[in-house]
């Protein structure tokens, strides 16, 4: 059986990567519109009507507007617009019971890139009671510049952006609400993201004083065991041995995510998630969610 898919925002950074991942598949028929009509409401309404599933790769406001013209077509929204909205299923298949919810969903909100790494580290630890929901948690992260879409890519292409910059320094990053809800936190975490001068790749760090956690210093080993249990058998997420140097670009162009538990073994722990901000952090997970929704092999079109 063939599934018809319309990627709204197909020419954007995320849309293009999803298209590339779907083009070679014979179980997917891509519905495209004339690039000149990519913002034309009538042309897009018609494309939504023809599609079984639409993937929105648009800015937040445009994604909200798109839902209004999408009719009954099933939707995967890659934007931040609906991640904690009522009636939407959070598109992070690794969470307990989530694959079943995604399979049956009409509206799926694809998880954010930093949120993918943050929740992947936090949720096993909050579920296991290692990190209490009201713990004071600190997260940091570095992303490749493609995370900022076409405009940030242009800044780096023209050499007008710095080699590295911190942002959201007022603790107002847009991923914090989803990190809290799906990471299992009731206390707002500190989160400090930055962008560096490479295109694709991401590292997210969770910094913990394990000696202050309920399990004490033994928490270090428990943290790794909880992560291993949580991701046992997962097709894309693995727990790896800590390395001396951690390269945020090492999983570029893949849908994989690697977690490692680093630190001094005496209370100071940094859990690190490595992923491709555009792969597992955006287009890869969108395809993974699509696969779950249409009953295809979860790994189809993904490496
Ligand atoms: N880049 C990343 O790493 C990630 C991005 N996302 C999210 O995915 C979404 C897309 O991001 P990204 O691909 O980076 O953004 P881009 O800016 O690269 O692409 C957005 C695309 O949407 C088109 N567009 C804008 N407004 C409209 C509209 N009203 N109607 C139809 N098309 C429109 C743009 O057209 P035009 O060609 O005119 O600019 C462009 O092609 C965003 O919500 C982003 O937050 C999520 C996770 C990670
Ligand atoms: C480097 C950079 O700017 N990254 C974006 C996040 C990427 C993105 O757009 O993510 P979501 O749509 O998944 O929220 C940011 O921090 O706002």
Nearest in space to 113 (alpha carbons), one of 43, 45, 26, 13: 13
Query: What local confidence, expressed as pLDDT, does residue 258 receive?
Result: 98
Sheet hosting strand 190-196, strand order edge to edge: 164-166, 190-196, 138-144, 202-209, 268-275, 257-263, 237-239
Torsion of CA 192, 198, 199, 200, to 10 degrees: -60
Helix (H) or strand (E) holding 128: none
ipTM score here?
Answer: 0.94
Residue 152: band (very low, low, confident or very high) from pLDDT cuts 50, 70, 90: very high
Instruction: Please name which ligand lies nearest the alpha carbon of 141.
Output: 2
Report the share of the chain in percent with pLDDT over 90. Answer: 93
Query: What local confidence, expressed as pLDDT, does residue 215 receive?
Result: 76
| The two three-digit tokens of residue 82, written as one number | 């609906």
Query: What local confidence, expressed as pLDDT, does residue 165 receive?
Result: 98
Please state the rounded mean pLDDT for residues 272-287. 98
Domain range list for the chain: 3-111+282-294, 113-275
Residue nearest atom 30 in ligand 1 by C-alpha distance: 39
Query: What local confidence, expressed as pLDDT, does residue 10 receive?
Result: 95
For a mutational test of ligand 2's pocket, the pick from 112, 145, 173, i.e. the residue with the most ligand atoms closer than 8 A to its C-beta, is 112
Pocket of ligand 2 from Cβ distances under 6 Å: 79-80, 112-113, 143, 147-148, 174-175, 193, 195
For a mutational test of ligand 2's pocket, the pick from 148, 151, 203, i.e. the residue with the most ligand atoms closer than 8 A to its C-beta, is 148
**Helix, strand, or coil (residue 264):** coil
Measure Cα distances from 140 to 25, 122, 195 in Å. 37, 13, 11
Q: What is the pLDDT of residues 245-269, one digit of tens each?
A: 999 999 999 999 999 999 988 889 9
Query: What local confidence, expressed as pLDDT, does residue 1 receive?
Result: 85
Q: Is 62 in the pocket of ligand 1 (CB under 6 A)?
A: yes
Please state the rounded mean pLDDT for residues 170-199. 98
């722990």: which residue's tokens? Answer: 269
Q: What is the pLDDT of residues 197-220, one digit of tens each?
A: 999 999 999 999 988 888 776 677
Q: Mean pLDDT in the chain?
A: 96
Residue nearest atom 8 in ligand 2 by C-alpha distance: 147
Which one of 95, 113, 274, 294 is the catalytic residue?
113
Q: Which of 112-121, 153-162, 236-245, 291-300 has the lowest mean pLDDT?
A: 236-245
224 CA distance to ligand 1 middle (Å): 36
Instruction: Kindly tell me if the per-residue pLDDT of 142 is higher than 80.
Output: yes
Query: What local confidence, expressed as pLDDT, does residue 242 receive?
Result: 82
Query: What local confidence, expressed as pLDDT, does residue 217 receive?
Result: 67
Query: What local confidence, expressed as pLDDT, does residue 220 receive?
Result: 79
57 CA distance to ligand 1 middle (Å): 5
Instruction: Please name which ligand lies nearest the alpha carbon of 112.
Output: 2
| The two three-digit tokens of residue 228, written as one number | 């291993």
Q: Is 113 a catalytic residue?
A: yes
The CATH architecture of the domain made up of 113-275 is 2-Layer Sandwich (3.30)
Query: What local confidence, expressed as pLDDT, does residue 221 receive?
Result: 86
Q: Which residues of 205-236 are buried (b: 16+ CB within 10 A; e: fewer)?
A: bbebebeebebebebbebbbebbeebbeeeeb
Please state the rounded mean pLDDT for residues 15-36. 95
Residue 245: exposure state from Cβ atoms within 10 A (0-12, 13-18, ≥19): exposed
Instruction: Kindly tell me if the per-residue pLDDT of 149 is higher than 80.
Output: yes
Please state the rounded mean pLDDT for residues 296-301. 97
CB atoms closer than 10 angstroms to residue 254: 16
Torsion of CA 95, 99, 103, 105, to 10 degrees: -10
Write the CATH number of the domain with boundaries 3-111+282-294. 3.40.50.720
Instruction: Kindly tell me if the per-residue pLDDT of 243 is higher than 90.
Output: no
Instruction: Kindly tell me if the per-residue pLDDT of 236 is higher than 70.
Output: yes
Name every residue whose Cβ is closer than 8 Å to that of residue 230 and which is 6 or more positions away in sequence: 94, 123, 124, 127
Please state the rounded mean pLDDT for residues 122-140. 96
pTM comes to 0.96
β-bridge partners, 194 = 142, 166
């Amino acid at each position: 059986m063939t599934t018809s898919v319309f990627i709204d925002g197909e020419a954007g950074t995320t849309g293009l990567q999803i298209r590339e991942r779907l083009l070679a598949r014979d179980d997917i028929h891509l519905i495209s519109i004339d690039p000149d009509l990519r913002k034309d409401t009538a042309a897009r309404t018609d494309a939504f009507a023809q599609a079984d599933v639409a993937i929105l790769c648009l800015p937040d406001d445009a994604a909200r507007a798109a839902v209004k013209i999408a009719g009954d077509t099933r939707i995967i929204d890659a934007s931040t617009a609906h991640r904690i909205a009522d009636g939407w299923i959070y598109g992070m298949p690794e969470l307990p019971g989530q694959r079943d919810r995604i399979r049956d969903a009409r509206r799926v909100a694809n998880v954010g890139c930093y949120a993918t790494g943050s929740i992947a580290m936090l949720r096993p630890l909050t579920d296991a009671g290692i990190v209490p929901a009201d713990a004071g948690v600190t997260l940091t992260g570095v992303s490749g510049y493609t995370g900022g879409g076409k405009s940030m890519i242009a800044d780096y292409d023209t050499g007008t952006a710095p080699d590295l910059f911190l942002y959201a320094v007022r603790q107002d990053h847009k991923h914090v609400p989803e990190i809290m809800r799906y990471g299992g936190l009731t206390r707002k975490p500190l989160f400090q993201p930055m962008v560096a001068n490479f295109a694709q790749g991401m590292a997210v760090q969770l910094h913990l004083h394990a000696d202050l956690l309920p399990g004490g210093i033994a928490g270090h080993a428990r943290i790794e065991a909880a992560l291993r249990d949580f991701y046992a058998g997962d097709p894309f997420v693995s727990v790896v041995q800590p390395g001396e140097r951690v390269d945020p670009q090492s999983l570029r162009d893949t849908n994989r995510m690697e977690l490692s538990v680093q630190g001094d073994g005496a209370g100071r722990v940094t859990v690190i998630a490595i992923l491709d901000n555009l792969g597992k952090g955006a287009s890869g997970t969108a395809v993974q969610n699509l696969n779950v929704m249409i009953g295809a092999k979860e790994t189809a079109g993904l490496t």
